[in-house]
Structure 1
Amino acid sequence: MLLTNKNRLIEMLSAALLGLAQERGLSDAPAPRLERPKAVDHGDVACNIALQLSKAWKLNPRELAQALVERLEQQPGYGDLIASCEIAGPGFINFRLSNAAKTVVVNEVLTAGSQFGQLAPEAAPVSRAMIEFVSANPTGPLHVGHGRQAALGDALANLLATQGIQVHREFYYNDAGVQIANLALSVQARLNGLKPGDAAWPESAYNGEYIAEIATAFKASSEYKDDLEAIRQFAVAYLRNEQDIDLKTFGVKFDCYYLESSLYTDGSVAKIVDELQSIGKTYESEGALWLRTTGDGDDKDRVMKKSDGSFTYFVPDVAYHTSKWNRGFEKVINVQGSDHHGTIARVRSGLQGVAQKRGWEIPKTYPEYVLHKMVTVMRHGEEVKISKRAGSYVTVRDLVEWSGGVTPEMAGDERELALQRGRDAVRFFLISRKA
């Protein structure tokens, strides 16, 4: 339902309610809410205000709904907006919009053209915003789960841009930690002639065939040497390039690729921990350093630094979001999978500590999050478990090429047209479920 029509109907309902209340000497009514019915035969929009008020006003909900409809029909412009309405069930009011109301947006689009829905920067609610999305570990190609993040994040960024907001798209590369170490070990094992299933194959290794491809490419490169750090650097660079190709195929661009490793090399992580300790936001227990997160809504305090001296994964996240605020991004939206829900309170708690130390006024709800459910892939009627470690996944590139009907023989404009078909279809599919 077009927002203009919705607001007009709410105004009419509010006026009718106020008149009814004054006529009968009743208390003021709350603002009515409209919902889209699940069943098409229940109309275009429905209102349950009669059910809400029946007890307080001591009236039968159907009788109240009928009285409200009679007053509503007297409102100026009602006939232009509503074709019909009916009282259903215990007191729901179901409305059907007129054809003129339904098609008014068509004329608006034709008149405004490409400027339809656009706001000028001076009318924007905020001047600039950052959307962080995809942010995949560089441990494998981008699978369809990452594709959903790419579609959601890019769509959200495009929408904000239409509202006059300067949008900054950022990809956070998790290029530090245990998973990257496992990636290097996996490639090293392949270089030594091992493969998944061998007795000496590392238990934590990645089993995908792409690991063998990285090993082959590294062996053929001028950088080849049996050194774990050299292997790590080559593997991360190789997979970053593969992910860049995936994103290009999907039509998604970023303004910045922020490296997690930089937060360690420039001392940001250590500095954040020191600051949180200096204000009493931490304590030591069981050989570990803990962050007091319960005071900020978490269900329990969280370990920041383990007994072996390594940091838990949310600590660099606090440093990263400190960087976002420090760079002037007061509006930040992170698009992440629902499995990240548990980290929200920890990151926000850490940021509140940083704000206290530095004299900043960071909102307690900073950053904002858009969480989405996982993508289920079916092949021949059976679910394909997405796992880079097991080597089981469907890449974004594969899905786009398959959806667009891309064949190896295609080239030039023919191939680009097929890719455009594929990416449009995949994008629509991946954002058709709410997040």
Structure 2
Amino acid sequence: MDLVKKIQDDLRQKIVTALEKAKTGGKFNYQEIPAFVIEVPREKQHGDYACNVAMLLARQARMSPVAIGQAIIDLLPQNDPLISRVEVKGAGFINFFLKEDWLFDVPRVVWQSGESYGQHKPVGKKVQVEFVSANPTGDLHMGNARGGAIGDSLANILSMAGYEVEREYYVNDAGNQIELFGLSLEARYLELCGCEFRFPEGGYEGQDVVETVRHFIEAYGDYLVGANPYERRQKLTEFALKEKLESIKTSLEAFGIRYDVWFSEQSLHDSGKIEEVTEELKTKGYLYLKEGAWWFRAGEDSGEKDEVVIRKNGLPTYFAADIAYHKNKFERGFDWVINVWGADHHGHVARMKAAIAALGYDPNRLDVILMQLVRLYRGGELVRMSKRTGTLVTLDELLEEVGKDAARFFFVMRSPDSHLDFDMELAQKQSQENPVYYVQYAHARICSIMRQAERAGILLKNPDEVNLRLLCLPEELELLRKVAEFPNEISMAAATLSPHRIARYVLDLAGMFHSYYNHHRVLNEEENLRDARMVLMEAIRRVVKNSLGVLGVSAPERM
């Protein structure tokens, strides 16, 4: 049960009833009730919940928001068992102050939910989250790692919010970058076999490419030296792609990520799906021929430039393959498709939505999260280069240095659209300066309390057997309120595609717990108060564990 949603729904119904009474009673008139929100205000002095309906009605009612708000308040039920008082403040916000009674139900709800507190009922919608999808031509780097943490955490959150979620990796195993990869492999192969070679302009120069070619030679020797160049590149590319994909899978699994589907771009070419979708767009009038190439007509209203779909040489562009890929997603029955892309793909979003609309699908069924760059720092110095490859620092190197938990938490702490400065020294610290350590320590501390209680023969009781009204300190009431917010935080994080919201939430909860623990005893108290506080501790523990769980971070019992 989501107590917060239940309260919001209750307040919403009271407001709607008051609005209907105001209209029939001639207090003010309106055509329709606008889509108003009831949310927790940032400042505590503004109440437990605030509503913006009065401001939204001002134009229709031809009255000031404050007057509308006061009229609504006057028509709310008197002596309400939930509401302590209501006031109109500022520009016309209606602020609700609740009685504390509902908070004592929070531990019962958490207890009854077991370890699944925060899990919502199925909503009957199928969602696909596609993320990372890095070219299989090298190791995963920091941008890929941030996309992995964001995408996987979001998939966990959506699943907890009641969606049927599928994780997918789009394997870019076709196109110009694969041709260039083949030429790079061929050059290194000939070099290592002692033959003359020419390295392609803009080729893949990383040490990892050399290592892959060495592995091929160890397995198969130099038999390709005298082979047809096309066959040589094909064999080397086939071997390298398989090795690179296995390496990527291994790295991502070490990062806590497992995909349901690995989708090959080449399969779209082989199956004729790209040709099929371009013909459909031609038939519908969305492609036009100019200077020997076929262009997608973005439309004047979109503000986007038209884009080449089929080149002069008859070969499809990456955009053509991407259109076919997204059509395939919808054909597979996904109600909602979410992509996590780098910010450099910004210009591609509107074109993709336009292409989806041209194919007859609602473009609002596609959401794209654009994430900014990651900068690594060590000791205040910017870290640019990998020790092994001489290029960007790899995910494997980061995991080796700071571990999965710190990496996952740091990557989702900030909104994807903000630049992230990753402090490697901070991520390694076992102190309260380190955010992930700070949160994990909250869980471990509570586990320690429970072990101490067990050694003393004190059992954790069912909330129904405890007088929870003894939890009357302001800090205890705030902790109960924070625990109650967790299911709603999951809903909001899913709706707004904001995994950083859960990281921020659990950091706040951990901070509140540590402050409480440092000032108040749990076990060395009078029996009834002790039992109530133990129940509170257990509720906090479950929420911290579940919050870390959706972020892909472990919740250790000892630290």
Residue of structure 1 in register with 2:396 after alignment: 397
8 Å CA contact retained: 1:334, 1:367: no
Q: Distance in 1 between matches of 2:186 and 2:150?
A: 36
Residue 117 of structure 1 deviates from its aligned partner by: 4.8
Residue of structure 2 in register with 1:6 after alignment: 8
Of residues 15, 18, 32 in structure 1, which corresponds to 2:17? 15
Render the CA deviation track for 1:84-129: whole Å, top value 9, x for unaligned: 5554334333444544445644422211224545566xx6333x44
- Relative to structure 1, the CA distance from residue 391 to residue 433 in structure 2 (aligned partners, 3 Å threshold; closer, same or farther) is farther
Q: Which moved more, 1:307-316 or 1:22-31?
A: 22-31
Q: Distance in 2 between matches of 1:63 and 1:235?
A: 71
For 1:312-331, what aligned pairs fall within 5 Å after superposition? 312-331=317-336
- Is 1:113 matched up with 2:181? no
Residue 341 of structure 1 deviates from its aligned partner by: 4.1
8 Å CA contact retained: 1:136, 1:174: yes
- Relative to structure 1, the CA distance from residue 97 to residue 76 in structure 2 (aligned partners, 3 Å threshold; closer, same or farther) is closer
- Relative to structure 1, the CA distance from residue 326 to residue 433 in structure 2 (aligned partners, 3 Å threshold; closer, same or farther) is same
Residue 240 of structure 1 deviates from its aligned partner by: 0.9
8 Å CA contact retained: 2:134, 2:144: yes
Of residues 295, 303, 313 in structure 2, which corresponds to 1:308? 313
Gaps of 5+ in 2: 193-197, 226-231, 415-498, 503-559
Residue 40 of structure 1 deviates from its aligned partner by: 5.0
- Paired residue type of 1:111: Q
- Paired residue type of 1:210: D
Q: Distance in 2 between matches of 1:169 and 1:48?
A: 37
Structure 2 counterpart SS, 1:2: helix
Residue of structure 1 in register with 2:436 after alignment: none
8 Å CA contact retained: 2:356, 2:363: no
Identity %: 33
Structure 1 counterpart SS, 2:242: helix
- Is 1:268 matched up with 2:273? yes
Residue 258 of structure 1 deviates from its aligned partner by: 1.1
Residue of structure 1 in register with 2:288 after alignment: 283
Residue 148 of structure 1 deviates from its aligned partner by: 3.1
8 Å CA contact retained: 1:50, 1:64: yes
Render the CA deviation track for 1:234-276: whole Å, top value 9, x for unaligned: 3322221221111111111112211111222232222333343
Residue of structure 2 in register with 1:411 after alignment: none
Q: Distance in 1 between matches of 2:390 and 2:86?
A: 56
Residue 172 of structure 1 deviates from its aligned partner by: 1.0
Structure 1 counterpart SS, 2:257: coil
TM-score under structure 2 length normalisation: 0.61
Render the CA deviation track for 1:222-242: whole Å, top value 9, x for unaligned: 265453333322332222122
Render the CA deviation track for 1:380-402: whole Å, top value 9, x for unaligned: 44556799xx9643433333443
- Paired residue type of 1:3: K
Residue of structure 1 in register with 2:175 after alignment: 177
Of residues 209, 212, 215 in structure 1, which corresponds to 2:210? 212
Of residues 297, 301, 305 in structure 2, which corresponds to 1:292? 297
Residue 316 of structure 1 deviates from its aligned partner by: 0.9
Render the CA deviation track for 1:22-43: whole Å, top value 9, x for unaligned: 4444113535323443445544
Of residues 340, 365, 368 in structure 2, which corresponds to 1:370? 368
- Paired residue type of 1:256: V
Residue 166 of structure 1 deviates from its aligned partner by: 4.1
- Paired residue type of 1:265: D
Residue of structure 2 in register with 1:249 after alignment: 254
Residue of structure 1 in register with 2:155 after alignment: 157
Residue 424 of structure 1 deviates from its aligned partner by: 5.6
TM-score under structure 1 length normalisation: 0.76
Instruction: For CA contacts below 8 A with separation 6 or more, give which structure has more relative contact order.
Output: 2
8 Å CA contact retained: 2:340, 2:371: no
Of residues 72, 82, 88 in structure 2, which corresponds to 1:78? 82
Q: Distance in 2 between matches of 1:40 and 1:323?
A: 48
Q: CA RMSD in A?
A: 3.6
Residue 313 of structure 1 deviates from its aligned partner by: 1.0
Residue of structure 2 in register with 1:259 after alignment: 264
- Relative to structure 1, the CA distance from residue 257 to residue 9 in structure 2 (aligned partners, 3 Å threshold; closer, same or farther) is same
- Relative to structure 1, the CA distance from residue 84 to residue 74 in structure 2 (aligned partners, 3 Å threshold; closer, same or farther) is closer
- Is 1:50 matched up with 2:54? yes
Q: Distance in 2 between matches of 1:267 and 1:43?
A: 60
Residue 295 of structure 1 deviates from its aligned partner by: 7.8
8 Å CA contact retained: 2:81, 2:99: no
- Is 1:425 matched up with 2:421? no
Residue 287 of structure 1 deviates from its aligned partner by: 1.7
Q: Distance in 1 between matches of 2:254 and 2:171?
A: 19
Q: Distance in 2 between matches of 1:110 and 1:176?
A: 52
8 Å CA contact retained: 2:183, 2:199: no
8 Å CA contact retained: 2:129, 2:151: yes
Structure 2 counterpart SS, 1:397: helix
- Paired residue type of 1:47: C
8 Å CA contact retained: 1:14, 1:32: no
Q: Distance in 2 between matches of 1:217 and 1:322?
A: 38
Render the CA deviation track for 1:338-391: whole Å, top value 9, x for unaligned: 4434334444554555x5xxxxxx53227512313224223144556799xx96
Gaps of 5+ in 1: 195-199, 356-361, 405-418
Residue 20 of structure 1 deviates from its aligned partner by: 3.5
- Paired residue type of 1:432: H
- Relative to structure 1, the CA distance from residue 52 to residue 110 in structure 2 (aligned partners, 3 Å threshold; closer, same or farther) is same
Structure 1 counterpart SS, 2:140: coil
- Relative to structure 1, the CA distance from residue 73 to residue 274 in structure 2 (aligned partners, 3 Å threshold; closer, same or farther) is closer
Q: Distance in 1 between matches of 2:104 and 2:254?
A: 36
